[in-house]
A and B are shown apart, each in its own frame.
Chain A
Amino acid sequence: MSSLRELAQRVTESGQADLHVRKSLSTIDELEPRLGCLLHSDREFVEQQLRSLQSRLAGGEELPLAGVPIVLKDNICVKGQKTTCASQMLGNFVPPYDATVWQKLQKAGAILVGKANMDEFAMGSSTENSAFGVTRNPWDTERVPGGSSGGSAAAVSAGYVPVSLGSDTGGSIRQPASFCGITGLKPTYGTVSRYGLVAFASSLDQIGPFARSAEDAARLLACIAGYDPMDATSSEQEIDPELLQLENTAALKGARLALPRVVSTLLPEELQDTFQATVEEFRKLGAEVEEVDLPYMEESLSAYYVIAPAEASSNLARYDGVRYGQRPQGEFETISELTTRTRSEMFGKEVKRRIMLGTYTLSAGYYDAYYNRAQKVRTALRNAYVETLKNFTAILTPTTPGPAFKIGEKVDDPVAMYLSDIFTVSANLTGLPALSVPSRLYQGLPLGVQLLGRPFADKELLTLARDYQRATDHHLQTPELAVHG
């Protein structure tokens, strides 16, 4: 498997813009009918991008992602390209502007080959909430790829593209990365501009990379991170140029990793041995893994399922059927009827459920008991994490409480579905960076392990993961049907 750096280098040296893109498109054509990772793949747009890259290459430009095919989650705006959020509501939406991440990727020489399927408005943990069809896990096509960025994760796992972008509000990058056997990072809140990312829960949303290795994830992060005046929450923190190519110094040996005791009570019995074996692997590689009491992990899930729907109910109020969105057929007597009918017919079940929950917890009489309390729990959580991270390089947990589940298995049980986020939501509530790297397979299915670090220690986390991947081959395992170059 070639690294991003090698892929870009080969394009630069050969001067051939489509060196990797043709292969990517043929893999898409071959596997897409079986997997359903993408919502759109506009070939005319690909050719247009290739022509532009070709002339930049001819002009001698050296680009960090020259000719690298990429997939974006379909909640990231690309001018002139449909951006649907996998919702009927935005079924025809064509953004009149580019998201900042896409502007940056274009500048870096990447070629967009498709927009990925997802749970509608990023609400879900299996991509089954898409209005436009299911995505199948390349490791077992009877199973979900995870979610909400399921299409982006499956596309990398199946070998459509070496890297893709997703968004992570409660685990939506790390959980599908774990289910699909690839590396996924939720950067520190504010590292990547959210301008042009369709909002779900603004204080939690963060765009981040999927890749086949931590090294590639670091390079992609280097290309998309940075302060953006168009996003008031983007950080002015300088981007470490070393992210483009992680330095060689080993970081895992001697690193202090905190292992929360509560993990053993939250992880199902049958997965304990596999996780323990992973912990031993980290120990063998020189990390000091120490058990700690880290409170509020279960409560973090409760806080998340109050805060995220509350912010969603507010953000999604903009879909009123006037400025964008599809409008149902028929005549409307009043503006209220127009709005109500549009929202009722165009939003899917889970999106409506969350709007309802959020509206309830924000309403007079319940605001203090739910929303305000959840925000205080968030403070308690952050204090506990920051305190723990004073003595440790990172916090080590499983990414998910199990491997990919069967399609349809949890779709009628929202509470069971929400539980798949138990280990991931803390990073969003605290704003801290966290990544998932493939660890051992469990019954032939990938499982991920999560490292959560200090504010803006994204590079340190990626370096730890890189060291783990240098010493192990879990990340090199690919599903049988995959095509990897």
Chain B
Amino acid sequence: MVIYGTALLAACLVVGQIAGRLLGMLLGIDANVGGVGIAMLLLILVTSRLERSGRLAETTRGGILFWSAVYVPVVVAMAASLDVRGAFSRGAVAILAGLAAAAAGFAMVPLLCRAVSAPASLPPDEAAASGDAA
């Protein structure tokens, strides 16, 4: 049944969001800490286990894959409901701060990738010897 897949996905999101909210409260902040990330991990864990035991039917899978497939349309709708006018009418501070923060992030991607790529590029035997430290 397709609904089983969607229900599983929905349950993962709800449990993840609750966990994220509680984690936030535990840290003393009024925000959700990683709820969506926890939900993603849950979904990966549950589906891989079900798949291994052959209990994830094709139709069930369809109930998850549909939502994965409408991801881009959902993001397009998200972009269309952003406060674009408000963001660009607040003046130079907002535009400059947003632009500079994005630029700094882009610039650091290759730096950080390079900084951590050394252990991963070790030959397989050495990498195995160093274990999880890599």
Pairing of A with B: no
- Residues of B whose CB lies within 8 Å of any CB of A are none
- Residues of A whose CB lies within 8 Å of any CB of B are none
